[in-house]
Structure 1
């Protein structure tokens, strides 16, 4: 990879958003096939945790922003009428986050992720913040492009091509390993194994990656029943 920007530049971009836009936390999500598969960058470890919760629960602003191909904003997750994320919403409230805003990131014509902004207090995002978030989402293309092979024409023409190899590789590898181990241990399909992994993370109040690491290191073995 040499001196490519990789996640370091993405972290710096997230930190700059916090400082310039007056946001409490910022993360850059990677989204493939409707799933949050990795965190490219985050302003703090807490921001990375906020993003990973979207993977654990299979819902959240980054997924909606990519699916809708447009910004997603929630002023107050504590609003009784706000029910779009029945699992992710309460999880974020437990982290003292009430306002969220997500802007999709597009690379070579593909919606591959989102810039996620988090606020501790109910947030009516200003025009300045919204414009800054859109600009930052465009800048986020740079570290993403650095993860692609050099043949960007192929990437644009064939989204499933090998030009996306490095980008696809930046996923939660421990989760993939743990899923494979659970398939073998419990004699279940991959989808069921991932559900078991996420369910255990939810039940124990831990991140999916932390649970996966324990399974891979054989510190944890899930009950087959």
Structure 2
């Protein structure tokens, strides 16, 4: 059975985020990688994780948001696959902050395939591998097929939320998509703007820098700010 059929079979009967998770798990099984995630990207920023094969995949994806750089962002920006066969190679100079963070997680290879929905590049399928090496031939074809299939769970969510909004005007429209996005980071950024008297871009940078310095995710730091367990000081 070809990779496309196997990947499609893996998500058969599933919808939304469940289908996205199953697709990522199938990528790990079929494509010879150690983790896989589907990133959502809006206006140049990684805004959420649609699906993941496990905890490691979610951590790798979250790092791209926390650090503001990584293969999924480049893949959407350039509208093409991004392949890094060995992050430990001295000649690999992309992602000066993300790269060492990934090496700390013992990830050597990263591959991102853009996710196209309704003519728009809205995210990427990210594959992570502990061992260095190229992804080519049938594996590369399988990764491209998986990125194509990944658009289906996102369309499911859009359809579900749109129907809910139409059927009940009082519903929380786009609830599931909003749940996927890192809305707490946006809220915490707004708090920092008010508290420190800085612009939103600097506030987000400060939040991300604090998260990186503490070895935590931006989402975790944002929750601490919102729950007033953490207050960043003005410089």
Fold-level similarity (TM above 0.5)? yes
Q: Structure 2: 5+ residue runs without aligned partners?
A: 1-12, 163-172
2:195 aligned to which of 177, 185, 190 = 185
TM-score by length of structure 1 reads 0.88
Provide structure 1 residue ranges, at least 5 long, that are not aligned to the other structure.
153-162
Q: Once superposed, what is the RMSD of the aligned Cα atoms?
A: 2.1
**What is aligned with 1:144?**
154
Asked if 1:111 corresponds to 2:125, the answer is: no
User: 1:194 aligned to 192, 201, 204, which one?
Assistant: 204
Displacement of 1:46: 1.2
Q: Secondary structure at the match of 1:140?
A: helix
The alignment status of 1:43 with 2:53, answered yes or no, reads yes
If the length of structure 2 is used for normalisation, what is the TM-score? 0.85
Residue 87 (1) aligns with residue 97 (2): yes
CA distance in 2, matches of 1:30, 1:200: 23
Question: For 1:125 and 1:164, how far apart are their aligned partners in 2?
Answer: 36
Matched residues, number: 213
- 2:213 maps to 1:213: no
Counterpart of 2:71? 61
Deviating 4+ runs (over 6 angstroms): 163-166
Instruction: Say which of 21, 24, 29 aligns to 1:14.
Output: 24
For residue 188 of structure 1, report the CA deviation from its aligned partner: 1.6
